[in-house]
Amino acid sequence: MGKCPICKLVTLLAGIGAVNWLLVALLNINLVTKILGDMTVPTKVVYTLVGVSGIILLVSLFKTCPCVAKQS
Ligand SMILES: [Zn+2]
């Protein structure tokens, strides 16, 4: 992953999702549902963003980010 704003955002979102699962596993605290409610629309939006970020991260393993490609 490069260091463009999109890459940073994607990594940030996936990281937040990962840390949230860590908290669920260790402390049984789900920060997303604690803050936004259980399966409310905002919660689903967060989960969707985290999931999409994960997919983009996976794709980035095989394909360089377009913004990085532009710079080089
Ligand atoms: Zn990028």
- Mean pLDDT score across all residues of the chain: 88
- Categorize the per-residue pLDDT at 69 as very low, low, confident or very high, splitting at 50, 70 and 90: low
Measured in angstroms, how far is the CA atom of residue 55 from the centroid of ligand 1? 14
Measured in angstroms, how far is the CA atom of residue 39 from the centroid of ligand 1? 31
Q: For residue 50, give every residue at least 6 positions away whose Cβ sits within 8 Å of its Cβ, in sequence order, or none.
A: 13, 14, 16, 17, 20
Quick check: 68 pLDDT over 80?
no
Full residue range of the structural domain in which residue 28 is found:
5-71
Counting the structural domains of the chain, the total is 1
**pLDDT tens digits, one per residue of 17-33:** 999 999 999 999 999 99
Measured in angstroms, how far is the CA atom of residue 37 from the centroid of ligand 1? 32
Q: What whole-number percentage of the chain has pLDDT above 70? A: 89
Can you tell me the distance from the alpha carbon of 38 to that of 44, in angstroms, rounded to the nearest whole number? 9
pTM as predicted: 0.79
Measured in angstroms, how far is the CA atom of residue 53 from the centroid of ligand 1? 12
Measured in angstroms, how far is the CA atom of residue 50 from the centroid of ligand 1? 17
